[in-house]
C-alpha cells in the first residue's frame, strides 16, 4: 500500500490492486496547490470546503460521506463512524466522520476534523490502527497534545499528522505539528517524506510518526 499526503487532511491511498482512495479533498481556498487527482473512492468527513472538494478528483466512482459500512472492492472494507467537530457534541461546528479502512491486512484510520477525545464506542471500533491520520493544529480541531493522547488511546503504530499550519495556510489560527511531535524521539520521526509504502509484514520497521513534504 502506498500513501501520499496531498495536503491539509487530504491523503491518497493506493492498494496493491490499484484501488485509489482519497480522503477529505480540499479546494483552492485552503491555500494549498490544487491538482487534479485520479481516485476511485472519496472519503468526505463533513461538508466544509476544505474537506469535500470532490470536483477535484477524476474517475471517481463512489463518495462515502455518511456513517455506515462499505465494501467498495474485493478485500476492502470501509467503516465510517460519527464523531464531533468540537468539544460540545457538535453544537458549535457540527459532526465529522471518522474512517476505518481495512485492506491488505492493514487498519488505516482517518479522523477527519475531530474536535474532542474519542468515546469508548469509537475507540473500540477504531482501536489499534497500523496507520493513524490525525488533526493536530487545534482551534478547528483537537490540538497537538490531545492528538497525542488520542493516538495513545488508540494504540496507533504509525501516526501521520494533518490539518496543521504550513506556509500555505499561514494566516489560519492553528498551530504547526511541533507540539504533537514533541513526545517522540528524533529517530522515531520520518521528516519531509514524499510517500510512505507499508505492508502488514513491515509495520515493525515503520517510523512512529511521519511528516510529509508540503507542496
Residue 124 covered by a domain = yes
Average of per-residue pLDDT values in the chain: 94
Residue 195 covered by a domain = no
At 49 the pLDDT is: 82
Residue 211 covered by a domain = no
CA distances from 121 to 8, 102, 117, 142 (A): 27, 18, 12, 19
At 93 the pLDDT is: 67
At 181 the pLDDT is: 95
At 214 the pLDDT is: 84
Residue 215 covered by a domain = no
- The pairing of beta strand 57-58 with beta strand 37-38: parallel
pLDDT digits 0-9 by tens, 91-102: 576 689 999 999
Segments of the chain with pLDDT less than 50: none
At 102 the pLDDT is: 98
What is the model's pTM? Answer: 0.95
Residue 64 covered by a domain = yes
How many structural domains is the chain composed of? 1
Residue 212 covered by a domain = no
Residue 208 covered by a domain = no
CATH number of the domain encompassing residue 177: 3.60.15.10
- Say how far residue 23 (Cα) sits from the centre of its chain: 7
Please give the full DSSP string across 40-103, using - where no structure is assigned: SEEE--SSSTTT--GGGEES--EEE-SSEEEEEETTEEEEEEEEESSSSTTTTT-EEEEEEEEE
The helix/strand/coil state of 203 is helix
At 84 the pLDDT is: 86
Q: The domain containing residue 131 runs over which residues? A: 2-186
Residue 122 covered by a domain = yes
Amino acid at each position: 500500500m502506498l500513501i501520499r499526503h496531498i495536503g491539509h487532511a487530504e491523503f491518497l491511498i493506493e492498494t496493491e490492486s490499484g484501488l485509489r482512495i482519497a480522503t477529505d479533498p480540499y479546494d483552492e481556498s485552503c491555500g494549498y496547490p490544487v491538482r487534479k487527482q485520479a481516485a476511485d473512492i472519496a472519503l468526505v468527513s463533513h461538508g466544509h470546503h476544505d474537506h469535500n472538494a470532490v470536483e477535484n478528483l477524476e474517475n471517481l466512482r463512489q463518495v462515502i460521506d455518511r456513517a455506515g459500512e462499505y465494501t467498495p472492492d474485493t478485500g476492502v472494507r470501509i467503516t465510517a463512524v460519527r464523531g464531533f467537530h468540537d468539544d460540545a457534541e457538535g453544537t458549535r461546528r457540527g459532526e465529522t466522520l471518522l474512517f476505518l479502512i481495512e485492506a491488505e491486512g492493514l487498519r488505516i484510520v482517518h479522523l477527519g476534523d475531530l474536535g474532542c477525545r474519542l468515546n469508548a464506542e469509537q475507540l473500540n471500533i477504531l482501536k489499534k490502527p497500523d496507520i493513524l491520520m490525525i488533526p493536530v493544529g487545534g482551534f478547528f480541531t483537537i490540538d497537538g497534545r490531545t492528538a497525542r493522547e488520542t493516538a495513545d488511546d488508540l494504540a496507533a503504530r504509525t501516526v501521520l499528522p494533518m490539518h496543521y499550519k504550513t506556509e500555505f495556510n499561514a494566516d489560519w489560527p492553528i498551530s504547526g505539528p511541533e507540539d504533537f511531535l514533541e513526545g517522540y524521539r528524533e529517530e522515531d520521526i520520518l521528516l519531509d517524506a514524499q510517500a510512505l509504502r507499508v505492508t502488514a509484514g513491515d509495520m515493525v520497521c515503520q517510523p512512529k510518526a511521519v511528516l510529509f513534504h508540503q507542496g
